[in-house]
Amino acid sequence: MTQLTHFDEAGRAAMVDVSAKAETSRIAIARGRIVMAPATLALIQAGQVGKGDVLGVARLAGIMAAKRTAELIPLCHPLMLSKVSVDLTPAPPDAIEIEALAKVTGQTGVEMEALTAVTLAALTVYDMCKATDRAMRIEDIRLVHKSGGKSGSWDAA
């Protein structure tokens, strides 16, 4: 098993020193979904949610969240992201599938940025639709691909 990297010799939480690492092109893709009542999905698709364009607002929220990941997760490095995309796809009868891609040329990966983008996009859908459906469930948020860096590429099974 790989040793955990966010601890110093004394076992205290510590930010990883990436100064000796080479800059490489790094990409991460994360996915998740939000499950809801079929009637809630129908409202979203028809553009009839009182707070506005749910999918458009959630897309922007995901992008903004990826850009602020280091402010949300204590030991993440601030990154100069070169690309973030968030796609929300209705999956009838009762879900929206969310996928986020984050890309950087740098010394550390962008997995947390992609995961944060999916999570905040899902939370935004929940926030915008909670008056209609408090039973929505955010599910299965996970990393599905990463490339770049010393460890190379990885894809979920």
pLDDT tens figures, 39-98: 999 999 999 888 889 999 999 999 999 999 999 998 899 999 999 999 999 999 999 999
* pTM, full prediction: 0.91
CA distance 129 to 43: 9
CB count within 10 Å of CB 14 equals: 13
Quote the CA–CA distance of 154 and 157 in Å, as a whole number.
9
State the catalytic residue, choosing from 53, 94, 127, 133: 127
**Which residue's structure tokens are 């996915």?**
31
Structure tokens at 97: 């599938």
User: Would you state the structure tokens that stand for residue 139, as one six-digit string?
Assistant: 């599910």
Q: What is the mean pLDDT of the chain?
A: 92
**Would residue 127 show up in a list of annotated catalytic residues for this protein?**
yes
